Chains A and B, each alone.
Chain A
Amino acid sequence: MRELLLAQNLTKKFKSNSALCDLNLTVRESEILCLLGANGAGKTTTINLFLGFLKPTSGKAFVDGLDVCENLNEVRKKLAYVPEQVSLYPSLTGLENLDYFVKLSLNNRLGKAELQNLLDRVGLNKSAANKRVNGYSKGMRQKVGLAISLAKNAQALLLDEPLSGLDPSAANEFTTILRNLADQGTAVLMATHDLFRAREIADRIGIMKSGSLVKDLSPTSVDQSTLEEIYLQQMRDTELV
């Protein structure tokens, strides 16, 4: 199995504050890794390092075997990304926003029907898709962000709380899509606070604390309540520290 995402002793310091500390993790193809962790645990920082938005203080991030820092452009072509906060152009419609980002990432265009099809998959109907984004709810923006990431057919998906703001049916729908993508070979790294969803779709669950991976679990090995207990246990330890 190819290791599509690999972090080796990844460390990131902001001034004196260590956001990541010797983080080691791997996401192979067809694998979904859910990262759990308290606010400030370092989930977003991890994703940003894979995208090359930040430079590691030490250690390395690899995407499909390529060192991120040295191959920024190739690496970014292999990745799709949904940020913590999806930002769109307010004066364009959802469809136009999608169209723009698709053109940028695919270097060619998709037909209107294909674009709408993508939006349908994430649960944004036609009339909403043709409204300007400045009238969108958080969930509607989130859906456009998801569609943008799906359109790219990337080898690895980096999702930063992708389900936040989604209504339950859209969240269900999206988790199904993710599962299908993973089954076709995509590697997924997803930061989330939703233990329930994490257990439902992940192949592995990582719990982060103060910039390191403190637990690496298989969801089949724990039931929902055990997972919650382990998670809360870890958080309590944090407070003690």
Chain B
Amino acid sequence: MNKAIIAKEFTEIVRDGRAIVLFGIVGLLLLLGLVTGFSTESTRSQTVFDAKVADAEVFNAQGAKNPHSAAHFSRMAHKPVAPFSAFDPGVSAYVGQVVWLEGHYRNPAMFRAAEDATELGRLENFSLAGVLILIIPLLVILLGYGSIAKEREQGTLRQIISSGTSLRSLLLGKFITVFSISFAFLVFSIVLAAVTSLFVFEASSQPLTDLFLRSVSLLFVYGLYTAFVTATTLFISAIVQEAKNSLLILLGLWTVMVVSLPRLSASIAEKVYPSPQSSEFWEAMDVRLSENRLDSSSAEYVAAERVVIERAFGKKLTESEIENLAINTRGVRLEVSEVIDSEIYTAAYAELFKNYANQKNFRRLLSIFSPTIALQHLSQAFSGTDVNAHEHFSNEAERQRNKIVRVLNEELIINDSGENLRYLAPPEFWETVPEFEYEYPALEIAWRQSGADFFIVLAWALFSTVGMFWLGKGRLEV
């Protein structure tokens, strides 16, 4: 019985020229999203890759130079293009791709671009994900608004019902039809994005299984969202008397739930938890850093000094051994302040990211009114382009900075003595400074961070589907 309904629905769609035009337009928009995403991301990828190569060359070819000047001279942490950033660039456009790993300072990768993009803009990029989120609901609405209402209007609904077919089977048949067409577009988009990223971003060496699992995860959550839109569309179509009212109501819902609320939620979240301006952030940082400076005679300072020296020599040292060492005291002081400041940087950046997390939670709260918000979070998370992924990069870059600065300082501590910075490291030394090899956090972590968003989308999908079938059971007038 369901097979008959589905087959008939498809025949009608195939014979309806308008539906074919609609599919053409949707396909075209998706391709446009794909091409835009890829041209942006492959440029970004190439830029980062070139910069990385150039940076390494320059650093390694410094010749004889004092390690501390080197600490102010070069070394960048380059963020490789995220696994699915061409599909959903997420916050990529608003955060920096490169962190300058400088002595004394934890430089941001974040603020530069945020200054010329409002929080409002944070969620809207023209990309495949952006097009899917807007267009798939519209496609479902156009395919489904009349599915019951039009049959009721024409009188065919009564003929179907009189045949002994329940409204529920009719709804199920229509649901399967509309859902599978939209799902086919999802599969088409995500597979295309995965395959293209395989060819375009060879450099970022994505393991195939990771790419596959990300595709499946994306397909899964977009599928749930599509189920929600389909069930809601059929629900509305079943309760109104005329197809044109159904279309009107659904377009209204689309405007509110798909277009307006996600944007509104982003700007409200920014109002409630304002992101600090770059200048404020650094002024506050300076205050905190200077408050945290230790007196060089304090016990804490002496203890820190000891740790730094022992680390440089790679062994435990007695008090007298330390006194007899020929070391560069300036180098020791540099490294001690590095260790002490690092706590402040870690805390301040953690607060900054906490604020972004608060914004995200706030937007999540608003997904009581629209699952689109939660879907955007999931899409970015599985694409590796959300704020969490950026936080991971930022922390890894900081770790690398600590590592490099320590290597440079220790070179100074061990090979020079006295107060001055006269020591010149040999040209071969630079090659021994470790390279930054960044790996994106595993998909599993994105899933763990996305539990709430996932359940929101799941709940919407379940409620709307159950609601639709409940209608089919109830005594809806035919």
Contact = CB atoms under 8 A, between A and B. Distances in A.
A88 B156 contact: yes
Interface band, chain A? 20 to 34
B163 A76 contact: yes
Interface string B157-188: 01111111110000000000000000000000
B11 interface: yes
Interface in A62-102: 73, 76-77, 79-81, 83, 85-89, 91-92, 96, 100-101
A112 B8 CA distance: 16
A192 interface: no
A91 B8 contact: no
B163 A85 contact: no
A178 to B, nearest CB: 18
A109 B16 CA distance: 25
A190 interface: no
A2 interface: no
Contacts of B478: 53
B299 interface: no
B277 interface: no
A100 B155 contact: no
Contacts of A103: 1, 4
Interface in A124-151: 148
A105 interface: yes
A91 B15 contact: yes
A76 B8 contact: no
Contact of A100 (B4, B164, B166, B475): B4
Given A91-B12, A92-B8, A104 B155 contact: no
B154 interface: yes
Interface string B8-28: 100110011000000000000
Interface string A99-126: 0110111010100000000000000000
A104 B156 contact: no
A39 B165 CA distance: 31
B8 to A, nearest CB: 5
A83 B15 contact: no
A103 B169 CA distance: 13
Contacts of B477: 53
B11 A73 contact: no
A219 B180 CA distance: 57
A89 B162 contact: no
Given A91-B16, A96-B11, A85 B155 contact: yes
A130 to B, nearest CB: 14
A77 B164 contact: yes
B4 A104 contact: yes
Given A87-B154, A100-B4, A105 B164 contact: yes
Contacts of A20: none
A205 B164 CA distance: 29
Contacts of B11: 91-92, 96
A89 B164 contact: no
A92 B12 contact: yes
A104 B164 contact: yes
B12 A73 contact: no
Given A88-B156, A100-B4, A76 B12 contact: no
Which residue, of A55, A83, A92, A103, has the highest number of chain B Cβ atoms within 10 A?
A103
Nearest to A88: B156
A91 B154 CA distance: 13
Which residue, of B1, B159, B160, has the highest number of chain A Cβ atoms within 10 A?
B159
A73 B475 CA distance: 12
A91 B10 CA distance: 11
A121 B438 CA distance: 77
Given A91-B12, A92-B12, A81 B159 contact: yes
A83 B159 contact: yes
B164 A73 contact: yes
A41 to B, nearest CB: 20
A157 to B, nearest CB: 11
A8 B478 CA distance: 23
A100 B8 contact: yes
Interface in B115-158: 154-156, 158
A104 B158 contact: no
A95 to B, nearest CB: 12
Contacts of A86: 159
Interface string A41-75: 00000000001010100000000000000000100
Given A53-B478, A104-B165, A105-B163, A89 B8 contact: yes
Contacts of B154: 87
A12 interface: no
B158 A53 contact: yes
A152 B160 CA distance: 13
Contact of A76 (B5, B15, B155, B164): B164
Nearest to A91: B15
Contacts of A53: 158, 161-162, 477-478
B162 A51 contact: yes
Contacts of A148: 159
Given A81-B162, A89-B156, A92-B8, 6 more contacts: A53-B161, A53-B477, A79-B162, A86-B159, A87-B154, A105-B165
Interface of B: 1, 4-5, 8, 11-12, 15-16, 154-156, 158-166, 475, 477-478
27 contacts: A53-B158, A53-B161, A53-B162, A53-B477, A53-B478, A76-B162, A76-B164, A77-B164, A81-B162, A83-B159, A87-B156, A87-B159, A88-B156, A89-B12, A89-B156, A91-B12, A92-B8, A92-B11, A92-B12, A96-B11, A101-B163, A103-B1, A103-B4, A104-B4, A105-B164, A107-B1, A148-B159
10 smallest beta-carbon distances between A and B, as pairs:
A87-B155, A105-B163, A103-B4, A77-B164, A91-B15, A104-B163, A81-B162, A76-B164, A87-B156, A87-B154
